[in-house]
Chain A
Amino acid sequence: MTARRLTTMLAGLTVALAARSVGAVECATLPMTIYATGSTAAKPLLAEIGKFMAGQTPAVTVVYLGAGSCAGVDAILSGTPIMATGLSYWDTSGTEQKCDVTSASGVSANIGISDVFATTCFKLPGGVPASVSDTLGPVQAMMFVTHRLSVEKAISAEAAYNVYGFGGQSQVPPWTFEGSIFRRDALSGTQAMIATAIGVPADQWQGTATTSSSDMVMRVGMANFANQSIGILSAEVAQDNRQMIKVLAYQNFGQTCAIFPDSSEMANDKTNVRNGQYPIWGPLHLFVRLNASGFPVNAKAGEVVGYIAGTRPAPAGLDLVKIEAQRHAVPPCAMRVRRMQEMGPPMSVAPTGACGCYYEMAATNATTCKKCSTASECPASAPICSYGYCETQ
């Protein structure tokens, strides 16, 4: 995407957001505010952490604006201020509240959140600047979806290239009606990641625009012609709306087998994401600015990032593995692969403090792993006791 086009889109987004009037408190008057913006997929996680931080002494308020992944990158790398009303924050009971930023100059974001690598949003020949840290968080899978009554079960990368590269002229039946081919926009992390996967630049997608993930669900799920409908969603949204839509298995370029992100269409185990078989996935990116010593400029923002990424021990009562499992994301400790660039080759990893068994239990309420209190209870084939289960490593 060109910088000029993205800047124009971001400016339009800022104006649109600032134009809304909710009539809430001024965010700056809340106790010790931390501003986070970007991916909408991160909101449930932030809600849990926001609830916890609000109960700290002194209290910290996590204020969040869902604005799209690339807007999150832009907020930290370019310092584009937040100017909007109706931002979210959470009180000690976890109830979502709203506040406004009415200052003409806006406020600086402390955390930028993106489903995709910064280089997917912007041309960064030197990579992310040294003054910014990019911490990798839970993994999110992206997927193609269709109406729940569609007879279609799978789509290939080649077919998706034609559908989203040519829209109504795809010549790939049944996806040949522009009005039934739904897309997001170039700021969307879901669209940006899938764009990389299928080779259609995110700003060249054809089809009918939707305004949000929930709009996508409605448009696909209520399409007049079930078979012709197609859209894209993150796992979190897609799998929470199975009463309206269904996930299509995905067949990568040159392959002959289509694969679901889970072990089956209706499962929730993310087995094929965790082992790298399902291709369209990536870690959540958490961007913060660093000071001259290499530490987060805002220490509390660094703390929040550490909790989400799992690099900082979660406080008692904050079970992020369980939260992520229930939100259809995968914490790094449950992954057996990692990738260092968008849709790059997956590499084997042996996470320290593996939580695959516990994740499985939290996500599906079942696991074949052996429970344990200490490693002495574990067999040689899975000798490590971690998160209460015997793990292989």
Chain B
Amino acid sequence: MRQLGPAGLALIVLCISVAGGTSGAGCSILLDSSANPYKCVTDDDCVRFPSAACDDIKKECVPRLPMFDAGMVDTGGAGGTSGLTCELSFDNKARINVTGPDGGLRPLPPQDGGP
């Protein structure tokens, strides 16, 4: 899921600053959701929807992506998503017989000129 970057933070700070001053026009235009309730700038603008995030491209709230480990979350919605349970697992500890010095992946062998 996209993280709120410095630009996003700066925008929110700017909005708060402007809104607290004499003119809130700039901020209210950016975050006005009356015409399009799905409009957003950051994920924070989507908290009014259950499990939603801000689409980086369209700047609209869309269903939040499921967790990417253990595959157990239903994304819901029409059009091709469904619940997922973890039915298969590859046991790395039992099946990978050689690891690197730190217990992780061993370094690849040195190249000998390649293919």
Query: A residues within 8 Å of B by Cβ?
Result: 5, 9, 153-156, 158-159, 161-162, 165-166, 171-173, 185-186, 199-201, 203-205, 209, 249, 251-252, 254-259, 263, 269-272, 274-277, 279, 334, 336-338, 345-350, 352, 354, 356-357, 359-360, 367-370, 381-382, 389-393
Contact of B66 among A155, A171, A275 (CB under 8 A): A275
Contact indicator A274/B89 (Cβ below 8 Å): no
Q: List 13 extra interface pairs beyond A254-B69, A279-B68, A345-B2, CB under 8 A.
A: A153-B88, A159-B96, A203-B115, A255-B69, A256-B86, A257-B70, A271-B82, A272-B71, A275-B65, A275-B80, A360-B79, A382-B77, A389-B78
Q: Is B56 an interface residue (CB 8 A)?
A: yes
Q: How far is the CB of A264 from chain B (nearest CB, A)?
A: 9
A348→B70 contact, CB < 8 A: no
Question: Are A357's CB and B78's CB within 8 A?
Answer: yes
Given contacts A255-B70, A277-B84, contact A348 B79 (CB under 8 A): no
B29 CB–A CB distance under 8 Å: no
B92, CB-defined interface residue at 8 Å: yes
Q: Chain A contacts of B55 at CB under 8 A? A: 347-350
A-B residue pairs, 9 tightest by C-beta? A356-B79, A257-B86, A156-B90, A171-B97, A258-B88, A171-B98, A350-B62, A382-B78, A356-B80
Interface size class of B (residues with CB under 8 A): 35 or more
A269 touches B80 (CB 8 A): yes
Across the interface, do A209 and B115 meet the contact criterion of CB distance under 8 Å?
Answer: yes
Cα A207 to Cα B96 in complex, Å, equals 18
B residues with CB within 8 A of A: 1-2, 38, 53, 55-58, 60, 62-66, 68-72, 75, 77-82, 84, 86, 88-90, 92, 95-98, 105-106, 108-109, 111, 114-115
Chain B CB count within 10 A is highest, among A171, A186, A199, for A171
Tell me if A393 and B62 are in contact (CB < 8 A): yes
Contact partner of B88 (CB less than 8 A), chosen from A185, A199, A249, A354, is A249
14 of the cross-chain contacts (CB-CB < 8 Å) are: A186-B115, A255-B68, A255-B70, A258-B88, A271-B82, A336-B65, A336-B79, A348-B55, A349-B62, A357-B80, A389-B79, A392-B77, A392-B79, A393-B62
Q: Which residue of B lies closest to A167 (CB)?
A: B109
Chain A nearest CB from B82 CB (Å) reads 6
Q: Are A274 and B81 in contact (CB under 8 A)?
A: yes
B63 nearest CB across to chain A (Å): 7
Q: Are A259 and B97 in contact (CB under 8 A)?
A: no
A276, B68: Cβ atoms closer than 8 Å: yes
